[in-house]
Every structure is written in structure tokens, then in C-alpha cells.
Structure 1
């Protein structure tokens, strides 16, 4: 299994503003504690990240051929295998994740800040989502909503409790963040390999989908209480991962601590071949739905 010299976690956000408070970036090298990276460190005039800043940062990493593993906390695909389509009854429904990214980015081309309002308002796409109180698409499957194979497997094996990408309601919803992420992934096409859609290269940066709760559980945090909002909790979690705590933070918000803990976890587990070769992952799943790094 190839080795990386650096690891990064991007805690993502689907908020429809230029610089969401929910975006946090943490990196960790071969020695020392993880560290938060402000956008200003990459040349931005603002310390808070925009999604466009993230794209520029990634392109710079690609240009430098940096051996870094980058985890994004979002879903890179929608359920497909359960219905043999992403969007039943929509004749233009794509047949691969990359084509899905292209569709979302194309429909939302005029939405600022990698926004996805145009997609969620689309007369066909909107039918599949739970949008909010009193606004339910007629093709949204009741209850939990449709799940990808990896999300079903997570739940069945107790490795996580991922929400449906078609749910846009509540604190655990991932639909908007996933769609904004798909726009960015489409615009990165060819710049950085994205696993498992691309094979793992021998060198250079690689992007994977991660689920910060998996890292939190590995760090000893209890199920249902996986958020850390103080220095004591962060120090204990990082210690359980064999990593020292960084200097005192300005704020112990859960976006920052999620990113720090997950970057440290990625460093600890990236060399485990099982995580790159999960038994349930087939070529069809890889290309249509993707997979969450860390789910075996």
C-alpha cells in the first residue's frame, strides 16, 4: 500500500453563502499534531474558506504533485443500485457518478458559490427530495429515504448511521453539501484522482469521501455523542489516535474538531489495505455510487 506524507480533512458545508462557517480544513504530517489551515494561509484575503478557495487549494496541491490524502465529509454519489437509476421517471437521469456531477454542475452553472438551488428547484430533480416542512417531493421514498450500498452496509454492520442524500432536512442532512461537492468534483475532473472512481495512483494527491463519525468512534467518542467542543475532549480523542493535541484553538467548534480528529485518524489508518479493498465494493458500485473510505 502506498504511503502519503500528509493527510487532510475538509469538513464541508452546503450552506448557500460564499463563506460558510461549516467549512474547516485540517492537515497533519508525518510528525507532530494536526493543525487547522485558515483560507488566508493559501493566499485568500479572508481566513474563512469559500468553496472556490478549496478548489484553488486543491489545484495547487495537484500542481505541486504533493503526496497528500484528502478526505471530504460528503457523499460523492447518490443511490443508484436500488432502483437501477438515480432519479426514477426522469429520462435524462445519468448512469454514472461522473455524469451526475456534470448534470448538477450544468444545471447550477449560474448559481454563485457552488450553490445548488437551481438543481433542487428543477422540475424533475425536486421530485426526489425531502425539502422541508410541508415540501416533500412526490418521488421521495418515505422514512429514511433511499440509501447507497455503502450506507446500507454501514447501518447493517454498525459502522455508521449515514443519512440519505435525498433528505435536505435536519442537522444530519447531507444532501446540499453533497450536491455542492459534486459541482466542485466535476470542475476538478482530471486534476486529482478521486477514489474509488479512479484507481489509486503511485504518487501525488488523492481525494476520498470520509464520514467524520467513523473517525470519532475510532478516537473513543461514544455513539450519539461524537462531537467535541472543548480542549479536554479534543486532547483525549487525539491521544486515543496516538497524536498530540495542537496549541490552543480560538474556538472549539465541532467543525474544527471534526477536521482535526479525522485528519489524525486518516494518518493512522491509511496504510490499512482493507480500507482500500472493501469486500462489498464492486466496479459497478465504485463508478455509480462511490464508497466511504473507512467502511469495510
Structure 2
């Protein structure tokens, strides 16, 4: 099993603005040194993140990179991402390409136009003005889940929710859709697990869920850290030294810092790299969340 020397975590955001407040990047080296935030001059944009990734690819950085978004939509339950759409893609890479093409006119790698598509809108729960619209294909209160999200809930690793939900504070759909545009724009410059094999050298991307890191650090209930004491206690539980003080303690920064430290520890667990339920077809159609066995 490959050993990486550095670990990066992007806390992500689907907010349809140039520089979402929810994007944060933390990087951890090997050993026990605390992770640190990597800053962008005016706050991170999704285009900044894409440029940063391409730079890491060019320098062949020995770096494992986690993104807090879902890399695909549910497929296995109906044998399709969008059962009502004749042009529904057959695998995740085709899905990334389709979403990027449909949202190509949107700036900042946003992905709001999907809810205006007559075939796709029926699968989402979304906001139209002040009205919440639940398409007939959304399927119940929770919405459709990927296999990894079902296992995440069953294993009590976190309260994974449907990527088809675009409403509310707990939704992950917007960030996931923008993340899929990002992955398509990378155009294979960095391998993405589990769609690609782990390379012998250079960077690798995987999908993470910051709540898993928080739970493994001993946090229960609401797994957010909003002060230095809470963050250092969680870092210590993961074998990390105390962090350098932050100017501001927000959920995005602390999630990124803790998850970078968790990745450093979790990357050595072979069970996370080879989850039993992640078949080859599931890997290509739905992907998997690193940290779900």
C-alpha cells in the first residue's frame, strides 16, 4: 500500500458566487505536526482550487487530497442517475461531463441550471424563490442515496444525505454538483479514487466526509469545533500536535484542519482503501467515501 507524505483537505461549497466563504484548505505533513491552513489572496474560488490542483499535478506532488463533496449521484438503485432522461450518463466520468456541459454558461463552476432542465429537475428538491419544490423523482423525505451513503449511515459513520437535495443547511447537493464540474475540468490530470487506481507517484484525490473525521476524533452530537480548545482536543485524539492559533474559528477552517490530520492517520488503514461492498461497477458509477468500510 502506498504511503503519502502530505495530506490536504478541501472543505467545499456549492454557493453560486465567485468566492464562497465555505471553501477552506488545510495541509498536513507526515508525523505529528499540526496541519495548517493554506490561504488564497482574496479567499478561495473554485477556479483557484482548480489551478492549485493543476499546479500540484505539474509538480507531481506526493499528496493525498480529500474533497468534502460526493463525486457522483445515486445510480445502483435504478440503474440510472436520471431514469426519466434518455440521455442519462452511464458512469461517473460521463456524469461529470454532462453536468459541466449543461452548466457551461454559469460562472464560477456553479451548477444552478440543472433545476431548469425539464428531465433533471424532477429528481431534485430545490428552492424556487421562496418555494421548496420536491420533484416526483426525489423519492421520499431523505431522497435517493448511493451505496456508500447507505453504508455510512448503517455503520454510524455520519448522517449522509442525498445529493439530490439542494435545500437547507445540511444539504450537500450544490457542493457535489460544483465538485463534479471541477473533477471534469481536471481532465484526468490527477487520478480520483476509486474511479482510478492509486498511482505509484504524484497526487491523488478522494472523496471524504468531515463528520467521519470528527467522529473518529471522539466528537459526538454536533461535530463542529468553534474554538481553539475544542480543535486541539480533537487533533490530540488523532495523534496531532496543537494547531497554530487562527484569527477566526469557523466550521470550514476547523473541519479542514481536523480532516487533514485524520487523513494522515486513516490513509494507513487498508480497509478504507478496499471496502467490501464497493464492487468495480459501483466504483465507476457511484464512487465511494473514504472512511466508509
Common fold, TM-score beyond 0.5? yes
Instruction: Give the aligned partner of residue 202 of structure 1.
Output: 200
- Partner of residue 178 from structure 1, selected from 154, 176, 179: 176
Query: Once the 2 structures are TM-superposed, how far is the Cα of residue 159 of structure 1 from its aligned partner?
Result: 1.8
- Residue 256 (structure 1) aligns with: 253
The CA deviation at 1:57 is 0.2
Matched with 1:290 is 287
Residues in 2 aligned to 1:219 and 1:157: alpha-carbon distance in whole angstroms: 16
176-185 vs 149-158, which deviates more? 149-158
In structure 2, how many angstroms separate the alpha carbons of the residues matched to 1:187 and 1:134?
Answer: 31
TM value normalised by structure 2: 0.97
- For structure 2, list consecutive stretches of 5 or more residues without a partner in the other structure: none
- Measure the CA separation in 1 of the matches of 2:253 and 2:139: 33
Q: Does 1:94 align with 2:92?
A: no
Find out whether 1:220 has 2:218 as its counterpart. yes
Report what 2:126 is aligned to: 131
4+ runs deviating over 6 angstroms:
none
1:103 to 91, 98, 103: 98
Give the Å deviation of 1:98.
Answer: 0.4
Deviations 1:184-228 (A, max 9, x none): 100112200000000011111000000000000011111x31000
Q: Which deviates the most, 62-71 or 135-144?
A: 135-144
Specify the alignment match of 2:38 in structure 1.
37
Shift in Å, 1:28: 0.5
Other structure's SS at 1:135 match: strand
Alignment gaps of 5+ in structure 1: 41-45
Instruction: Name the TM-score, length of structure 1 as normaliser.
Output: 0.96
Instruction: Give the match's secondary structure for 1:52.
Output: helix
Secondary structure at the aligned position of 1:39 is classed as coil
Alignment partner for residue 266 of structure 1, among 246, 260, 263? 263
How far residue 273 of structure 1 moved from its aligned partner, in angstroms, is 1.0
Distance in 2 (CA, whole Å) between partners of 1:121 and 1:237 is 42
8 Å Cα contact 2:146-2:286 kept in structure 1:
yes
User: Hey, what's the Cα distance between the residues in 2 that align with 1:283 and 1:158?
Assistant: 24
The question of 1:7 aligning with 2:7 is answered: yes
2:29 is the alignment partner of 1:25: no
Q: Can you list the C-alpha shifts for 1:8-66, whole angstroms capped at 9, x where unaligned? A: 000000000000000000001114210000013xxxxx2x0000000000000000000
Matched residues in 2 for 1:249 and 1:221: separation?
20
Match of 1:43 in 2: none
- What residue in structure 2 maps to residue 68 of structure 1? 63
| Counterpart residue number, 2:80 | 85
Tell me how large the CA RMSD over aligned residues is: 0.9
Matched length: 289
Tell me if structure 1 keeps the 8 A contact 2:69–2:208: yes
- Secondary structure, aligned partner of 1:200: coil
Match of 2:97, SS state, is helix
Picking from 269, 272, 276, the partner of 1:275 is: 272
Of 113, 128, 132 in structure 2, the residue corresponding to residue 118 of structure 1 is 113
Cα distance in structure 2, aligned partners of 1:150 and 1:124:
25
Q: Secondary structure at the match of 2:153?
A: helix
